[in-house]
Amino acid sequence: MGSHWLSVPELEAMLGADAARRLTDEAGGMTVYICKRPGGNKQLERAIGKKAIAVLRERFGGENVGLPSATRRRATFKSKIIPLLEAGLSLNIIAQTLGCSWRLVAKVRQDTGLGKAKEDKGAGV
């Protein structure tokens, strides 16, 4: 089972701008498992439509895909992330708690030089 991270431009090229925006609104900043079989990602399908989920399933069926959090601002989260990193929470727990991406939390940790937290990537939608 592989894992991919997709940028906003990649999503827009694959799905179209509207479906890409709806996808990042629904699950931006998270890593989601794309089912191989039709109907396996009901919540995402409702958000982005059957055509767009079919494109994701064709390309990434059976794999985890990291989605960008295009609608969220980094500066807003930094001051909230630091105390949680200092408290020793995992990167994924911090991301889920604050509604930001795992990548952002990891970047803040790297930028601040704070100690390593548990690096659990696999939250699903």
Whether 83 and 39 map to the same domain: the answer is no
Whether 44 and 80 map to the same domain: the answer is no
Written as six digits, the tokens of 78 are 């930094």
pLDDT value at residue 117: 44
The model scores a pTM over 0.85: no
Query: Residue 117 falls within a domain, yes or no?
Result: no
Per-residue buried b or exposed e for 75-97, using 16+ beta carbons within 10 Å of the residue's own CB: eebbeebbebbeeebbbbbbbbe
Whether 10 and 49 map to the same domain: the answer is yes
pLDDT value at residue 71: 53
Whether 17 and 47 map to the same domain: the answer is yes
Query: Residue 79 falls within a domain, yes or no?
Result: yes
Which stretches in the chain have pLDDT values below 50? Answer: 117-125
Query: Residue 46 falls within a domain, yes or no?
Result: yes
Domain limits at 105? Answer: 74-112
pLDDT value at residue 1: 58
Rounded CA separation 36/6 (Å): 18
